[in-house]
Amino acid sequence: MSDKKVDNAILDSTYRQISYDTLSLRKFLSLSREHGNSTAEIFFLNKFGIFYRDKSRYKLAHQHHRTALALAVKNKNREQTIITINLIGVVYRRQDDIIPAISSHQNALKLAEEVENPNETVLRNIAISCNSLGNVYLTMNQLDDAMQNFQRSLEIEKKINNRLGLAINYQNIGGIYEKKNNLEMALFNYRQSLFYNRKINSELGKLICNNSIGGIYLKQGKIKEAEKYISPTISQAEKIQDAFYTSMSYINTGWLYLLQGKPEAEITIRKGLSIAEDKGFTSSKIEAYELLSRLFERGNKMDSAFAYYKKFAAEKELLNNESTFRSISELKNKYTLERRKNEINVLKQQQDQLALRLSSNKLLSSIAVILLVFLGTIYYFYMHQKALRQEKKLLLMEHEILNLQMNPHFIFNALNSIKAYIVKNDTQNSVYYLNKFSKIFRNILTGIHHKETNLKEELENVENYLSIENMRFGGAVQYAIKIDDELNAENIRIPSFLLQVFAENAVWHGLAPKGGEKKLEITISKLQENKICIEIKDNGIGRKKAKKISEKTFNKKESLGLEISKRRLERLYAKEYSLKIIDMENDAGKATGTLVHLEIPI
């Protein structure tokens, strides 16, 4: 009893069995006060209030619940405040004191709905509030409002799997259908309630269901079926000692006797009426007055019948008077208004949170944009540096090409051959070859600054080169350059000095070491609308022999020239080009030359 933070639900499950044991209740209430355990004190005060309510001692019930409420409010214990206000509302409802009953349950409901992430106890009390409000509306014959509240309560009880709550709500929904004279649906819901009451072995619940099911059978004229359910109710009610349901059981049994024509009907109804008048059970008095009016009417005692009918009408008018309806309407409107205000406040809070999130998102977006700009800048500089490296690499390749084209052996041999013509006074050939030599050098010096040239200029450069080299060989090289008539050489762009590299390799490594006839043929043809084929074919010694000679002389010019050309092709055309170098052989397997097959886009 020393734990001040003990949960109300734990207390309820622990001390449920002593609900009607006043000695034990008094003992534990005293202990909770001694130990300063306010949670337990509130719990046991409410247990006393329930005990007195069920004994119809409503003044004492109110006193204990009010004491509990004051303590709960003082300790700011919202959960127990909600529970206690609901319990006060139930006492008012038992007294048919409609206005304070509605006010209490609406206040409890409002407090419960304000709880964020409600636990099972709070949800249970929302269900209790809705059920109690539904019962008030049912009494006032406001059936739509009653059904709405019962259905909401039922859904919560299903959610938390509270079988007692399910039993209560099915019973109440049956009451709505009974008032609508839909007796089959009323019977169905009463039976559902009885099913759950039997599951939890609730004697009070079974008593209520027996009265309700018996009443439906009486309305249907099924007297024998009604008798099975109504006959045991008086003894059940007196055993439970609940005056409200004892009064109900006497009145229903009197109704059964009335329909059976038994003389005990009047005295039985009067017993129920006496309890109702003593305890102030308005709804029970209304039923008893109506039955007595019908009883005297059957006995042809019209004065008595009329007297009880007037009492019946007066009590019903008192219960359903305009002032009461107006007060109920005002309370409903007040609750609805408060609920709407709360919803608006919640929506406003959500809107503020959304605005805050949007503001945060804007900040995050700004940071993201700055970060993206920063990363973009880094990426730009990275790509720029990469491009510079590529450009540097390309310039290096072009420098290497220039070195290859400015081969000192070629220059020396060319000038030496021209010198021979000059010594022989062969002015015509001297001028002719000197002119070609100067063109080659001019093309090399100007072409090195351009990645590409047109095919016509490239072929002219190759022809000048071959002409000078052939001069060295004394005209022994038979070369030919052929181009497809469909192609316009001036409009086709190719890498500068590309063909000269392959032509030079053919002359120096294929034809120069070969004795006898030396042939070189360059053919350019159209493959597709946007692709051409270039073939350089020689009848030299072949690559195998040429490689052996190069290894002996340590001449790596061929491999370097080819490697640079391949890198340039890869750089310019990626995967859109094709280069094949084919070793040609005769039937005996002897080398007959080399074929370079190149396909490039245009």
Which pLDDT tens digit goes with each residue over 392-428?
555 555 545 544 554 555 665 667 667 766 766 667 7
CA 174, CA 186: separation in Å to the nearest integer? 4
Which helix (H) or strand (E) covers residue 601, if one does? strand 591-601
First to last CA, the chain: 96
Q: What is the mean pLDDT of residues 264-288?
A: 92
Which residue in this structure is represented by tokens 């039993």? 167
pLDDT of residue 198: 95
pLDDT at 259 over 90: yes
pLDDT of residue 589: 87
Mean pLDDT of the chain: 82
pLDDT of residue 576: 87
The CA angle 528-533-534, to the nearest 5 degrees, is 160
CA 33, CA 45: separation in Å to the nearest integer? 11
CA 187, CA 173: separation in Å to the nearest integer? 10
Task: List, in sequence order, every residue forming a beta bridge with 599; answer none if it has no partner.
Answer: 533, 578
Q: Domains in the chain, please, with CATH?
A: 205-211+223-319 (1.25.40.10), 403-601 (3.30.565.10)
Whether the CB-CB separation of 547 and 562 falls below 8 Å is answered with no
Whether the CB-CB separation of 236 and 206 falls below 8 Å is answered with yes
Whether the CB-CB separation of 421 and 433 falls below 8 Å is answered with yes
CA 375, CA 485: separation in Å to the nearest integer? 53
Question: What residues have CB less than 8 Å from 138, skipping those under 6 apart?
Answer: 146, 172, 175, 176, 179
pLDDT at 81 over 90: yes
Whether the CB-CB separation of 45 and 38 falls below 8 Å is answered with no
Q: Which is nearest to 288 in space by CA: 305, 279, 276?
A: 276
Task: List, in sequence order, every residue forming a beta bridge with 585; answer none if it has no partner.
Answer: 591
Structure-derived torsion over alpha carbons of residues 510, 511, 516, 520, reported in degrees to the nearest 10: 110
> Pairing state of beta strands 518-528 and 477-483?
parallel
Q: Provide the 10 A C-beta neighbour count for residue 389.
A: 10
Q: Provide the 10 A C-beta neighbour count for residue 225.
A: 15
What residue type is assigned to position 307 of the chain?
A
pLDDT of residue 14: 65
Whether the CB-CB separation of 112 and 81 falls below 8 Å is answered with no
Q: Provide the 10 A C-beta neighbour count for residue 414.
A: 22
Whether the CB-CB separation of 305 and 289 falls below 8 Å is answered with no
The CA angle 17-21-24, to the nearest 5 degrees, is 90
Which pLDDT tens digit goes with each residue over 7-16?
666 766 666 6
Return the structure tokens found at 228. 């099975």
pLDDT at 326 over 60: no
Which pLDDT tens digit goes with each residue over 516-554?
889 999 999 998 888 999 999 999 999 888 888 776 654
Which pLDDT tens digit goes with each residue over 562-573?
787 888 888 888
Q: What is the mean pLDDT of residues 86-100?
A: 88
The CA angle 174-175-178, to the nearest 5 degrees, is 90
pLDDT at 337 over 50: no
Sign of CA dihedral 34, 39, 41, 43: negative
Q: Which is nearest to 195 in space by CA: 163, 230, 217?
A: 163
Q: What is the mean pLDDT of residues 207-212?
A: 95
Q: Within 13 A of 427's CA, how many CA atoms are on the CB side?
A: 0
